[in-house]
Structure 1
Amino acid sequence: MDLQAVVQLIGNVGFPIALSLILLQTILIKFTKQMDGLEKRLAQLDKTMNLMVKTYHQSTSKSAIRQDKKEDG
């Protein structure tokens, strides 16, 4: 927001309302950035959890195969 736009905003709606709008815009920008960061972290967590589940299933199936071989042998 440039200086001329701020001056025009204050002239049109008054200082308290203009200040409130500027603060609201600032808060919304910060909130959006935080939400983007959380979204990225959640995506990484999802990938990690899927990898852990896949690894667990692989190790469980290998254990079952070894157990079957011990029982047969």
Structure 2
Amino acid sequence: MDLQAVVQLIGNVGFPIALSLILLQTVLVKFNQQMDGLEKRLAQLDKTMNLLVKTFHQSTSKTAIRQDKKETD
């Protein structure tokens, strides 16, 4: 928001309302930035969890194969 727009806003609606709108815009911008960061972290967490599940399944299947071999011997 440029200075001329702020001055015009104050002239049209008054200082308290203009200040409230500026603060609201600032809060919304920061909130959106935090949400974007959270979205990236959740995507990384999802990838990590999928990798852990895949590794767990591979590990349990190898353990089951080893136990089958021991039982047949």
Which 5+ residue runs of structure 1 have no aligned equivalent? Answer: none
How many aligned residue pairs are there? 73
Cα deviation, residue 62, structure 1: 0.2
TM-score (norm 1): 0.99
Percent identity over paired residues:
88
TM-score (norm 2): 0.99
Cα deviation, residue 44, structure 1: 0.3
SS in 2 for 1:60: helix
Counterpart CA distance in 2 for 1:15 and 1:42 is 40
C-alpha distance after superposition, 1:22-57 (max 9, x if no partner): 000000000000000000000000000000000000
RMSD value, Cα: 0.3
Cα deviation, residue 7, structure 1: 0.3
Which letter does structure 1 place at the counterpart of 2:21?
L
Which 5+ residue runs of structure 2 have no aligned equivalent? Answer: none
Which letter does structure 2 place at the counterpart of 1:43?
A
Cα deviation, residue 72, structure 1: 0.5
**4+ residue runs over 6 A deviation:** none
> 1:15 matched to which residue of 2?
15
Which letter does structure 2 place at the counterpart of 1:68?
D
